[in-house]
Amino acid sequence: MEYLIHLAILVGIYAMLGISLNLVVGFTGLLSITQAAFYGIGGYATAILLTGLGMNFFLSVIAGIVITVILSLIIGFVLSRFRGDFFALGSFGFNIIIYSVLLNWQSLTRGPLGIPGIPRPSLFGYVFSENLSFLVLVIVFAALTYLLAHFVTRSSFGRVLKAIREDEEAAAVFGYNTLVYKLTIFVISAAIASVAGSLFASYITFIDPSTFVLNESIFILSIIILGGLSSLRGSVLGAIILILLPEILRFVGFPSDIAAQMRQFVYGLLLVILMMYRPQGLVGEYKL
């Protein structure tokens, strides 16, 4: 049972990450590969504030959001000068920069040693020490994230984002300041990823830079491509599949000497087949 709860917690955290990235990639058409950086900033903010200052978890989440918003404003402003593949390459570079900072600023982040002993959240004296109670907390945060994203995408603001995705120049002709819209959604997306990072750090109780490498950003991007671009349901579905599929493959009777390689092969093959025949994802509305 604890194993299933553990998987459910990971699904909830990665669903938040998928929703946050889908706002930028699926609804706005900006190919960003830097989500793991904001994920890491939130995680490290919570880890440092909880272990170093003894701050309450929920206050650390707010502090992580503030830090992430400031950095994402700077990063987003720089990236807004690029389009298409250049935007993707720029976001790629920022992910590497943030990872390098986390790895080398040892006086603050402890570098490759990581930060152990991160306490679980507490609220009015109640500590979410049991995984089941932590799962409830993750579900609450994931539900709030979904509702926020639903509100944003269904509003007039969301309709402008879709217009930017289809034809940014046409949206600008109609008087919309596309830079402001892109920067705003980029910051909102980063803030959500920061919250997911705070939850992850407190759940695992240990954090180190290896969690937030470029591969993690690619994994989050795979979640929304698989589940469906421009679909909040697709973000959740993609997280469920990509978290559970490797675990399901553990129970397939591959020969023990090549089991790990075969699981990776089948895992990759299924993704390739899906991308060939459903490039918009399982329930998506938009193709990259």
Confidence of residue 58 (pLDDT cuts 50, 70, 90): very high
- The answer to whether residues 41 and 23 touch, using CB atoms and an 8 Å cutoff, is no
pLDDT given at position 258: 64
Q: What is the mean pLDDT of the segment spanning 176-182?
A: 90
Burial class (CB in 10 A: 0-12, 13-18, 19+), 43: buried
Q: Of 76, 95, 77, 80, nearest to 33 (Cα)?
A: 95
* Token code pair at residue 174: 């109609």
- The pTM for the full model equals 0.92
Name the fold adopted by 2-277: ABC transporter involved in vitamin B12 uptake, BtuC (1.10.3470)
pLDDT tens column, 95-131:
999 999 999 999 999 999 999 999 999 888 888 989 9
Sequence spans of domains, the chain: 2-277
Q: pLDDT band for 2, please (50, 70, 90 cuts).
A: confident
pLDDT confidence of residue 80: 80
CB 183 within 8 A of CB 21: no
Residue 257: band (very low, low, confident or very high) from pLDDT cuts 50, 70, 90: low
CB 119 within 8 A of CB 53: no
**pLDDT tens readout for residues 203-248:** 999 999 988 988 888 889 889 988 888 889 999 999 998 888 877 7
Three-state secondary structure of 171-208: HHHCCCCHHHHHHHHHHHHHHHHHHHHHHHHHHHCEEC
pLDDT digits (tens, 9 = 90+) for 151-165: 999 999 999 999 988
